[in-house]
Structure 1
Amino acid sequence: MIVSAKRMHKISEYFFSEKMKEIRNLEKDGLKIINLGIGNPDLLPPYGVVDKMKKASELKYANTYQSYIGIEPLRHAISNWYKKIYQVDIDYKYEILPLMGSKEGIMHISMSYLDKGDEVLIPDPGYPAYSSVSKLLEAKIIYYDLHEDKNWIPRLENLSGVKAKIMWINYPHMPTGATIPFEKLEEIVLFAKKKNVLLVHDNPYSVILNHKRPLSIFNVKGAKDIALELNTLSKTYNMPGWRVGMIVGKKEFIQNILKIKSQMDSGMYYPIQIGAIEAMNHDSKWIENLNVEYFKRRKIIWKICDRLNLKYTKKSSGIFVWAKITDADKNDHIWSEKILKKYHIFITPGRVFGHNGKGYIRFSMCCPIEILEQAKNRIFS
């Protein structure tokens, strides 16, 4: 009998992977399930992106291995995009590492800096991949609490005794949509400097329905000394399946992570890089129009929340609506299953994102307006 590695017992199959199999089986039985659970953008990329990619695919060298650090025009485009979106100067030669989706960056960064037993600070609630990767590397996870009454901002005074190697933060926050005031971001950077912690800011939602100026960790003076930032085109430009992301940070950090990444792939497909450049070259009008669409979708979800007696804030950002269950029975897993059974609508239970997610649920806005209207009508009927 061939036995799997012991580390495999510390993780399970990704929740959404398992849930999608369940939903497919229900649909095979003839049920029409409306999926409001997954943040999988359904809209098209900006005009011209696909055309650029098609033309690039016809070039003789399109199918060859590409540079591990991406083509120079892509890194130029990322640098210009950071200047345009965040007013941050990034050296395209040394401070950018393109990724096949920012999710792989979580693994690359962790493998570069975590040894067995190293402490890693992870938000609760937060993106499950932070925990899964840390478990695979046998790091010691220290969850730091985020609570609604503190606007989902960490209380750094509770972490004074921690000796962590990495601290993960994510604003606008997934799953809650909370944004962070600039002064609080400054406090976290100062904390990381004092503790000599590698601070990693996962930043995929900064321009989606954000009522504040989009922030990069590098808006904070001196953050490059101790910080990295992950970003992606998946949400901003509706390119999730293209797998285009990036790590941004100082040269020494990038070179170290490249040692890992260069063992894992052989460069990003050239036409995808060309498409990514075209997307980032679009002006702010693209983002404005995208937000108009998401605002319309969010208003429908708010009506659904009102009907289901859920508590939510209208100040959240990103592609999700995070809502609190007000029923006597606040078990989010049971609540989600009841909605699936009664209305054939899947809504993510908050406990997927950690202990502090219990009693909450998360709606995704990655669904056409007509489908959201169908969901609303099922619940209102």
Structure 2
Amino acid sequence: MIQLANRLQSVEEYYFSKKLREVNILKAQGKPIINLGIGSPDLNPPERVLNALVETFNENGAHKYQSYQGVPELREAICGFYKRHFNVPLSPLTEVLPLMGSKEGILHISMAFLNEGDEVLIPNPGYPTYSSVTKLVGAKPVYYDLDEDNNWHPDLVALEMKGVENVKIMWVNYPHMPTGANATNKLFEDLIAFAKRNDILIVNDNPYSFILNRYPRSILKYRDASEVCLELNSLSKTFNMAGWRVGMLLGKSEYVNAVLRVKSNMDSGMFLGIQKGAIEALNCSDMWYLSLNSVYEQRRQIVWQIAEALNCTYDSNATGLFVWAKLPDYLNAEEYIDLILKEKSIFITPGTIFGTNGNRYIRISLCAPQDQLEEALARLR
């Protein structure tokens, strides 16, 4: 066999890629699996989005290569969206870059800014892709603790005392996945000051702002943010468009252009129909968000009961697509969810996949129809 690249020695296959194969095998064996592990919205996008996609099929030039930077109308829609919802003014010409999902952006940003051996601050618990991409580009992950006692916010004083002179990027993610914690104004202000003192690029990954969250925030709104911050966002969660792969990078033109230099060598533009659909999504009225959150609110009430049936506690003020639930001291997360999968045919995500600080937690998704959630609750009672 041809020898694999050394970079793969430190990177494993994504947890859900492996676990879903196991779940699918159980389904094929006739097990009535209820999947409460994945944050893939099961609801449809807005109808206007679907119509825009279909109407594009016969447009002249629709099936040709598209601009690496997206059509002007999409960049303008992104800027309008940020101005309307976050009060962040951006230039559609220089400060916005549409992406094929924000996950793509994590790799492109890392390739644009990191050299081999650079250190990267990664939240624990946090999105596993931050760590795997850091390793893939030859940089060094440095994990910073988030814990319930500090509202899942970093201790920046402790970080500076440990030394951050070799840190190039810090990943933050508020509203936070998996815990659902929100940033405060003070946290974003402190992060910006921390980044300026230490010459660090802060990247806020922000796809959950509009899910069960009354106060959407962007780090780019705060003073001096443009000097040291980038933000990623996505249409996947807000508009039920996960499979469409539409994300965006926003920030200072020099930083965005650096990422474009990587991206333009990796793809040949986004299909025009997807861009037209994204424009319609970004221009949705407030009724869309109210309707979407009404569904998730009903589902969350049931998921809270599921957490209680599993003898877990949770924060009812948390936001996002998941309920982050704390296990009793005597239970191990991975062993417990494997037992539930085996005995109850319910798949729930163990907190361990998000880092060592997730050892005593499980994550339950709201991305399942209400009847499935009720069935899961009945099985557990």
TM range (shorter): over 0.9
State the match for 2:243 in structure 1: 241
CA distance, structure 1, for counterparts of residue 81 and residue 371 of structure 2 = 33
Quote the Cα distance in structure 2 between the aligned partners of 1:255 and 1:359: 41
Counterpart pick for 2:270 among 268, 274, 284: 268
* Residue 186 (structure 2) aligned to one of 176, 183, 187: 183
Query: What's the counterpart of residue 84 of structure 1?
Result: 84
Alignment pair present for 1:207 and 2:207? no
Question: Structure 2 CA distance, aligned partners of 1:183 and 1:287?
Answer: 26
Moved more, 370-379 or 107-116: 370-379
- Provide, for residues 56-81 of structure 1, a one-character-per-residue CA deviation record: whole Å limited to 9, x for no partner: 11112110000000000000000000
What is the rounded CA distance, in whole Å, between the counterparts of 2:212 and 2:192 in structure 1? 25
Compute the displacement of 1:228 (Å): 0.3
Find the aligned partners of 1:208 and 1:219 in 2 and give their Cα distance.
20
Deviation string, structure 1 residues 241-273 (Cα, Å, up to 9, x no partner): 000000001110011110100010000000000
Distance 2:74 2:59 in 1: 17
Question: How far is the alpha carbon of 1:351 from its aligned partner?
Answer: 0.4
Matched residue count: 378
Following superposition, the deviation at residue 306 of structure 1 comes to: 1.2
Q: What is the 5 A alignment of 1:353-372?
A: 353-372=354-373
CA distances 1:96-155 after superposition (whole Å, capped 9, x unpaired): 000000000000000000010001000000000000000111111110000000000000
Sequence identity, in percent? 51
1:192 and 2:195 aligned = yes
CA deviation after TM superposition for structure 1 residue 330, in Å: 2.3
Distance 1:29 1:336 in 2: 19
Summarize deviations over 1:309-357 as a string: whole Å, max 9, x none: 101010001000000001x522100011111111100000000000101
Partner amino acid for 1:35? N
Give the 4+ runs in structure 1 shifted more than 6 A. none
| Partners of 1:288 and 1:65 in 2: CA distance | 36
| C-alpha displacement of 1:222 | 1.1
2:23 aligned partner: 23
Task: Specify the code of the residue in structure 2 equivalent to 1:61.
Answer: G
For 1:95 and 1:319, the matched residues in 2 are separated by 28
Q: How much has 1:300 moved relative to structure 2?
A: 0.3
Matching residue's letter, 2:193:
L
Q: CA deviation at 1:31?
A: 0.5
Distance 1:25 1:69 in 2: 41
Measure how far apart 1:286 and its partner are: 0.4
What does residue 281 of structure 1 align with? 283
Alignment deviations for residues 273-318 of structure 1 (CA, whole Å, 9 cap, x no partner): 0000011111111001111100000000001111111010100010
Q: State how far apart, in whole Å, the 1-side matches of 2:58 and 2:280 are.
A: 17
SS in 2 for 1:231: strand
Query: The residue matched to 1:178 in structure 2 has which SS?
Result: coil
Distance 2:224 2:184 in 1: 17
Please state how far the C-alpha of 1:23 moved relative to its aligned partner. Answer: 0.6
Structure 2 unaligned runs (5+)?
none
Q: Does 1:343 align with 2:344?
A: yes
Between the aligned partners of 1:57 and 1:276, the Cα distance in structure 2 is 15
For residue 250 of structure 2, give the secondary structure of its aligned residue in structure 1.
Answer: strand
Distance 1:95 1:120 in 2: 24
User: Any idea what SS the aligned residue of 2:363 has?
Assistant: strand
Q: Which residue of structure 1 aligns with residue 110 of structure 2?
A: 110
Other-structure match for 2:256: 254
Which residue of structure 2 lines up, in the alignment, with residue 122 of structure 1? 122
Distance (Å, rounded) in 2 between the aligned partners of 1:141 and 1:376 = 39
In 1, Cα distance between equivalents of 2:323 and 2:200: 31
TM-score, normalised relative to structure 2: 0.98
- Give the AA of the match of 2:202: L
Matches of 1:307 and 1:34 in 2, distance apart?
Answer: 16
**CA distance in 2 between partners of 1:180 and 1:330 (Å):** 30
Structure 1 residue 47 displacement after superposition: 2.1
What residue is the counterpart of 1:46 in the other structure? 46
Alignment of 1:300-315 (within 5 A): 300-315=302-317
Q: What code does the residue aligned with 1:244 have? A: V
Aligned residue type for 2:380:
I
Displacement of 1:28: 1.1
How does 1:1-16 map onto structure 2 within 5 Å? Answer: 1-16=1-16
1:224 match: 226
| Ranges in structure 1 where 5+ consecutive residues have no aligned partner | none
**What is residue 333 of structure 1 aligned with on the other side?**
334
Cα offset for 1:207?
A: 1.0
